[in-house]
Amino acid sequence: MKYPANRSISIPSTISLILMACSLFPLSGQVKVIPSYTSERSVVNLNEGWKFHQGGTEFAYNRKIVDDTWAVTDLPHTWNSVDPFDDKDGYFRGIGWYRKEIIIPDTLQGKRFHLRFEGANQVADVYVNGMFAGRHQGGYTAFAMDITRFLSTGEEPNLLAVSVSNAHDPFIPPLSVGFALYGGIYRDVELVITEPLHFSMSDKGSSGIYLFTSDVSNQSASLSSRIVICNNFYHQVDAELTIAVRDQNGMVIATQNSSIRVGPEVTEVISTEPLVIEQPMLWSPEHPYLYTVDYVISTADVSLDRLDFPLGIRTIALQPDGGFYLNGKRVFLKGTNRHQDFKGKGSALSNEDHVKDLVNIRKMGSNFVRLAHYPQDPAVLRACDSLGLLVWEEIPLVNYIMPDTRFYENSMEMLQEMIRQHFNHPSVVMWGSMNEIFLWGNNAQRMSVQFDPEYTELVRQLAVNLDSTIRTEDPSRLTAMAIHGSRDYEKYGLTGISDVLGLNIYSGWYSGEFSHFSGTIRKSLMRFPGQAILVSEYGAGSDPYLNAVHPERFDFSVQYQQEFNESYLAQIESLDQLTGVAIWNQFDFSQPWTGGSIPHLNQKGMVSWDRNPKDVYYLYKANWSKEPFIHIASREWQLRTGTRNKKDVLAEQPLKIYTNCTDAELFVNGRTMGSKKPDLTGKALWMVDLEEGINEITAQAISENEKFSDKIEIAVVSLLADLRKMESQDVDIAVNCGSNAQYYKGYDVAWLPDKPFTRGSYGYTGGDRKMLQKDIALTNTDDPALYFQYLEAPESYRFDLPDGNYMVECWVAEPDMRSENRVFEIIPGNAPPIQVITRSRNPLSVEGNIIRLKVGASNGNGITIKFRPVDGLPLLSAIRVRAVPGKQPVT
């Protein structure tokens, strides 16, 4: 077949893939009739049936604006569940309106009505019946508004209208982050109805009650409380306050009654006398014993308000040996970080979703979780209490600050809200104020060194103020701050402020080697002797579809993530003075504006974004959990490829297991490969030969005389050592150019790792292996993993194939930020060159493209695709050669 000379293929930078942005249905909104009740408080969930409109609309709070065309949605809801991940730049950051009607029966006249939002990101303006009820700034904490005076009872519905904006606001943290700032009312909404005398709903979104334990021992503990009571009566009230502590069987084990007097229309703060609990069961990760404490205010035996809280009795302390002590015993913090988003849902998770995440963390064997980088859903804190997870919770001061009073005030407000709202959770042991605050500079740009002394001093002052606010608000807990590997923190006085110094360390990922980790920690232990040193982040990304026999830094192979974490775990063993560690991250999470093998995703999770545990999950489980198991690793690598040896097997294939049992044995197709004792990290590795076709792999191990086993199948489709001996109609060879990793995504073909050409085989001549910059996202492809590593300036790509006709696909993406054309030629065999023009008009995303050519092989010469620069170096991300079906003369 003849090809016209100098064909030109131009690769545009337009984006073709448009994903549907929302899953909203054109149903009608529901009017909620609030049920009648007689005394105490009633909490009515308002999650169902809101009308939603994306965009700013004038007078949307006014009933006159008809919302018939608005979508209907239930809460939790975000308008960004899809768009941060599509092929279009950015995601919607602006206003969304929510409306809902409620009917309040006349029987509820005289009550107080509080609208409570667990979280709306990030500025919410609330209107009731057209009247402005209040604004809340900050997307990660709860807020409540007393809306009584705007409501009417009777049959007329009341209109609740909320405008929420997630537009960038220079005065509201976070300013720049590596995660999506999903907009919307993404947590639960409730109408809380109280008597005029009630536990305050207006103390920074908290419950109005704060529990303190003191003098804790196995013999006894004292509980005292700080109670904020609000009296909306026009008269003074004399009331009774009853506190009752119940054990897990519901038995009341301690009570206290006191008389209180609250003046007309005031909010009073009451501190109670210590209530002694004899022989308390102490709370710990192994035994998260929770009492319940009931608080009741009553007058003349009619109870007016009632709240109950879980009570975990425990002590915490740091000792100079670096130890974190719980109930007087040293506990190494075996932890992980958690972001709150989920594939397809964004940040709008149900309480059940949240709980599942925490169960997943606990089952891995963790006793500690850092809720990075913001306060999380109340369901998360409740789960941590009952599962026995120790918590570091923090406010979203990430990367840089705005040196402005409004920013400081918002930061302080968020900090107080977080502390007061989550004060009664025994799981919380430390409050964090800042994360990597010197990663970016005053100019809102990432920088390696801070140089503006005025700015750095303002950051220090803010850090000191936040830290001392934590100590004032909650002297019973520790203060924490996380920093990255820069000397600036020391130089500008940020180290030494908090009790716990969190180090975010990525040796072996962003730089250096993973073996440097323990050295860095040892130096830090010496440099910061007054602080407890905790590794607040460490991690490496992986993609289940990329697997390598010889993994390399940044290749996103499953095996690199395994080796990185195995090494860190082994090094942690030797660091006696380390307080604890927190893996980055438990779950893959959104990271708009990033590349990698899956664009817009941070792939360092132990668990994928749709919540499938990766191998490393089992590595940690082998180390941290006592629940016996065995796990064969790399199970998504279901089709392996490579060049078979003379014995017709794919030789030296790694098969790894993780287990906390002893004496693991591996079987391949029923034959034993021998028993091994797992090493200190719970790993055992066999190098085995795999046969063409399906291989059955079984692993078993023993724990206390019980056998545990795991089984997988691995298919092998390998290449003949001499490709020239293949039948030409069988040829289908695909190569992941520039990468040492195989790529298999479950469909027709496994992509081979790249290599230099050798006789009888395949490979490149000339060129360098390169990687896309990590902030460039790939578009226009279902296989971004094939593009992010590539060959630059290859001279040729050769396949020693038998004579025949072949279809060749050359996969190409422009990696550089060039607005001018890059021109190069692809020369298929002896045919005329094809001119390829690439350009990238967009600095943040590049398109993947496939150029298809027909090439004939004749006279035993195989095929050679040559590359020639014209204006810029040639590129090749992947190449696939397939037989052209049917018998044809070689062209």
- Residues near ligand GCB (CB under 6 A): 178, 373, 435-436, 484, 504, 537, 584, 602, 604
Other Cβ atoms closer than 10 A to 759:
10
Paired residues of 25 in beta bridges: 72
| Cis status, amide bond into 174, omega within 30 of 0 | yes
Q: How far is the CB of 219 from ligand GCB (least distance, A)?
A: 43
Q: Which residues of 40-78 are buried (b: 16+ CB within 10 A; e: fewer)?
A: bbbebebbebbbbbbeebeebbeeebebeebbbbebbbb
Q: Are 752 and 734 in contact (CB under 8 A)?
A: yes
Q: Which helix (H) or strand (E) holds 533?
A: strand 532-537
User: Which lies closer to ligand GCB via its Cβ, residue 235 or residue 446?
Assistant: 446
Q: How far is the CB of 541 from ligand GCB (least distance, A)?
A: 7
Q: How far is the CB of 625 from ligand GCB (least distance, A)?
A: 25
User: Which lies closer to ligand GCB via its Cβ, residue 284 or residue 504?
Assistant: 504
Whole-number Å distance between alpha carbons of 294 and 44: 20
User: Which lies closer to ligand GCB via its Cβ, residue 345 or residue 370?
Assistant: 370
User: Which lies closer to ligand GCB via its Cβ, residue 504 or residue 660?
Assistant: 504
Q: How far is the CB of 617 from ligand GCB (least distance, A)?
A: 17
Q: Which helix (H) or strand (E) holds 524?
A: helix 517-527
Q: How far is the CB of 200 from ligand GCB (least distance, A)?
A: 35
Q: How far is the CB of 85 from ligand GCB (least distance, A)?
A: 16
Structure tokens given for 552: 């390399």
Whole-number Å distance between alpha carbons of 688 and 708: 21
Q: Is 23 helix (H, G, I), strand (E, B) or coil?
A: coil
Whole-number Å distance between alpha carbons of 327 and 310: 18
3-state secondary structure 349-373: CCHHHHHHHHHHHHHCCCCEEEECC
User: Which lies closer to ligand GCB via its Cβ, residue 602 or residue 695?
Assistant: 602
User: Which lies closer to ligand GCB via its Cβ, residue 397 or residue 470?
Assistant: 397
Q: How far is the CB of 589 from ligand GCB (least distance, A)?
A: 8
User: Which lies closer to ligand GCB via its Cβ, residue 593 or residue 618?
Assistant: 593
Q: How far is the CB of 436 from ligand GCB (least distance, A)?
A: 5
Whole-number Å distance between alpha carbons of 835 and 420: 65
User: Which lies closer to ligand GCB via its Cβ, residue 53 or residue 339?
Assistant: 339
Q: How far is the CB of 392 from ligand GCB (least distance, A)?
A: 13
Whole-number Å distance between alpha carbons of 836 and 869: 10
User: Which lies closer to ligand GCB via its Cβ, residue 600 or residue 724?
Assistant: 600
Structure tokens given for 490: 């020391």
Angle between helices 615-624 and 558-573 in degrees, nearest 10: 20
Q: How far is the CB of 506 from ligand GCB (least distance, A)?
A: 7
User: Which lies closer to ligand GCB via its Cβ, residue 546 or residue 734?
Assistant: 546
Residue with tokens 């940044």: 554
User: Which lies closer to ligand GCB via its Cβ, residue 114 or residue 484?
Assistant: 484
Other Cβ atoms closer than 10 A to 109:
10
User: Which lies closer to ligand GCB via its Cβ, residue 420 or residue 604?
Assistant: 604
Residue with tokens 């988003």: 341
User: Which lies closer to ligand GCB via its Cβ, residue 348 or residue 397?
Assistant: 397
Q: Are 110 and 180 in contact (CB under 8 A)?
A: no
Q: How far apart are the first and last CA of the chain?
A: 5
Q: How far is the CB of 834 from ligand GCB (least distance, A)?
A: 39
DSSP string, 54-99: ES--TTTTSTTS--TTSEEEPSS--TTSSGGGSSSSS---SEEEEE
User: Which lies closer to ligand GCB via its Cβ, residue 465 or residue 486?
Assistant: 486
Q: How far is the CB of 431 from ligand GCB (least distance, A)?
A: 17
Q: Are 855 and 865 in contact (CB under 8 A)?
A: yes
User: Which lies closer to ligand GCB via its Cβ, residue 207 or residue 504?
Assistant: 504
Structure tokens given for 515: 């073996």
Whole-number Å distance between alpha carbons of 557 and 550: 9
Q: How far is the CB of 581 from ligand GCB (least distance, A)?
A: 14
Whole-number Å distance between alpha carbons of 853 and 834: 9
Q: How far is the CB of 600 from ligand GCB (least distance, A)?
A: 13
User: Which lies closer to ligand GCB via its Cβ, residue 200 or residue 586?
Assistant: 586
Q: Are 736 and 811 in contact (CB under 8 A)?
A: no
Whole-number Å distance between alpha carbons of 306 and 40: 6
Whole-number Å distance between alpha carbons of 542 and 556: 4
User: Which lies closer to ligand GCB via its Cβ, residue 118 or residue 588?
Assistant: 588
Q: How far is the CB of 534 from ligand GCB (least distance, A)?
A: 14
Whole-number Å distance between alpha carbons of 570 and 561: 14
Residue with tokens 């066999």: 686
* R_g over Cα of the chain: 31
Q: How far is the CB of 414 from ligand GCB (least distance, A)?
A: 17
Phi, psi (rounded to 5 degrees) for 351: -60, -35
Q: How far is the CB of 435 from ligand GCB (least distance, A)?
A: 5
Whole-number Å distance between alpha carbons of 679 and 698: 19
Q: Is 511 exposed, middle or buried (0-12, 13-18, 19+ CB in 10 A)?
A: exposed
